[in-house]
């Protein structure tokens, strides 16, 4: 769940054939002279939209043609209330809404349910996916299955002109070779590699991949030797942090990378002040490549030779619908949810494709086998919420401070101990006995039971 709201494209046009289907659904709507008066009497439902990523469901609602046909079919008046400042709101859930909310920030489900701001759906309404959208064993959310992949793959964009000038050919994808690459590029530019944000997140994906690690909100959990593991507290992670400290000390990565983001690194790249940079996804990569070409730069998106899915983020992403507790028309809202669910499956949006380069790194890295058994095991969002709390309270602060040298590398063992054994957090909605060890045990039980 990235902190910055991404630019949304204009809603896509609804196909003529699809409009005909909706027209049939709305055939019962009256068409006599007092039609406008009758429409005034329709129940009005306010849908609050709070999205960070793209969503077929939300694109449908934003489309005027589709929304009008949906209103006629369901006999309702739909009003959209879009939240734009998600970065400021998402951590504290300081928001009130009436009617319904559609969001991809699933962590809101827990505090909303704890504060009795949303309606419990268990046992009251027939749901399409009753195993999802739960907290404390009770269902509070309608989880949309939009028929496409929700995960996101960060990309490495390189200035091929700068690499060619440095005489760099294909190299092995390992720590020694990458360090040597950055050393050679340091003769061409002050910043060989522009990474950004917390070293546990996707802004460092090219370095995480060297050690077989996944970014936060990625495939961090895996089963090995009959137990569940979380890669951020394993020995490989300590070696990774030692490597980041080394690159930072040698000025191969930005001195103040903690305060950078994908947009500031984009500026560095376009100004020719760095040789390589990470971007969060394919769309951002395509935009950066096109802008660089307009500036006369020779650039490429380099494929990282890691196991498929290793560097993906957002593997827990879902678009969910919630109903305000004192809503007057919950049955109509759920009817709209179900129609959106049905229609979204026929309008899966394809991610833009562009040629990937494989001219920098050799071979395919051998790493742990990735199995999608954990992301589907967060059936109870309270467990996911607690995982998120542990990320922001333990993993991220330690990773940031160790990486820049404010803490010694030995602090990794303190972090590991806190995460595994004794996580004390003053959050009312968290489990009183929350610990990494307990979370791993729950995840292992769920993962093995569902397979």
- Asked if 251 and 349 touch (Cβ cutoff 8 Å), the reply is no
Find tokens 């399409």 and name the residue.
128
Class of domain 16-150+317-344: alpha beta
Say if 16-150+317-344 and 155-313+379-449 have the same CATH topology: yes
Gyration radius from the chain CA atoms: 24
CA nearest 71: which of 56, 81, 61? 61
State residue 110's pLDDT score.
83
CA distance 165 to 428: 57
Give per-residue pLDDT as tens, 141-179: 888 877 555 668 999 999 999 999 999 999 999 999 999
Structural fold of domain 155-313+379-449 = D-Maltodextrin-Binding Protein; domain 2 (3.40.190)
Q: What is the model's pLDDT at position 373?
A: 55
Does residue 127 contact residue 337 with C-beta atoms inside 8 Å? no
Ranges in the chain, pLDDT < 70 = 1-40, 85-94, 123-132, 147-151, 348-354, 364-380, 422-434, 449-451
Alpha-helical (H) ranges within 250-361 are 262-270, 282-294, 330-344
How far, in whole angstroms, is CA 268 from its chain's centroid?
Answer: 24
pLDDT of residue 434: 64
Report pLDDT for 3: 36
> What residue segments make up the domains of the chain, in order of their start?
16-150+317-344, 155-313+379-449
């Amino acid at each position: 769940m990235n902190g910055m709201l991404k630019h949304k494209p204009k809603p896509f046009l609804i196909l003529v054939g699809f409009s005909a289907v909706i027209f049939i659904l709305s055939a019962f709507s009256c068409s006599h002279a007092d039609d406008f008066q009758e429409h005034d009497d329709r129940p009005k439902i306010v849908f609050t939209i709070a999205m960070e990523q793209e969503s077929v469901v939300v694109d449908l609602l934003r489309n005027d043609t589709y929304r009008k046909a949906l209103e006629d079919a369901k006999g309702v008046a739909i009003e959209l209330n879009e939240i734009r400042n998600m970065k400021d709101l998402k951590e504290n859930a300081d928001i009130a809404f009436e009617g319904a909310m559609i969001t991809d920030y699933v962590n809101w489900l827990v505090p909303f349910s704890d504060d009795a701001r949303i309606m419990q759906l268990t046992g009251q309404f027939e749901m399409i996916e009753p195993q999802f959208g739960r907290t404390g064993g009770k269902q509070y959310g309608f989880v949309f299955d939009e028929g496409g992949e929700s995960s996101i793959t960060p990309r490495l964009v390189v200035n091929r002109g700068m690499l060619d000038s440095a005489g760099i050919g294909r190299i092995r994808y390992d720590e020694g070779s990458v360090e040597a690459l950055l050393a050679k590029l340091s003769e061409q530019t002050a910043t060989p590699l522009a990474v950004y944000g917390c070293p546990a997140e996707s802004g460092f994906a090219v370095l995480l991949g060297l050690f077989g690690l996944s970014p936060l909100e990625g495939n961090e959990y895996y089963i090995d030797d009959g137990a569940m593991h979380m890669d951020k507290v394993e020995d490989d992670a300590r070696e990774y942090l030692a490597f980041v400290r080394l690159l930072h000390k040698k000025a191969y990565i930005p001195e103040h990378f903690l305060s950078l983001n994908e947009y500031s690194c984009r500026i560095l790249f376009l100004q020719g002040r760095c040789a390589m940079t990470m971007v969060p996804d394919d769309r951002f990569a395509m935009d950066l490549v096109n802008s660089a070409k307009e500036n006369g730069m020779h650039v490429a998106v380099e494929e990282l030779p890691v196991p498929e899915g290793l560097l993906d983020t957002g593997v827990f992403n879902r678009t969910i619908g919630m109903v305000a507790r004192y809503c007057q028309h919950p049955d109509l809202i759920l009817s709209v949810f179900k129609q959106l669910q049905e229609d979204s499956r026929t309008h899966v949006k394809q991610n833009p494709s562009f040629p990937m380069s494989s001219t920098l790194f050799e071979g395919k890295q051998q790493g742990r086998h990735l199995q999608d058994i954990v992301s589907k095991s967060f059936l109870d969002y309270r467990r996911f919420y607690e995982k998120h709390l542990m990320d922001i309270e333990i993993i991220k602060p330690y990773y940031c401070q160790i990486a820049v040298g404010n803490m010694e590398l030995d602090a990794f063992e303190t972090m590991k101990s806190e995460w595994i054994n004794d996580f004390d957090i003053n959050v009312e909605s968290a489990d009183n006995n929350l610990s990494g060890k307990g979370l791993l045990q729950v995840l292992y039980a769920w993962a093995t039971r569902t397979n």
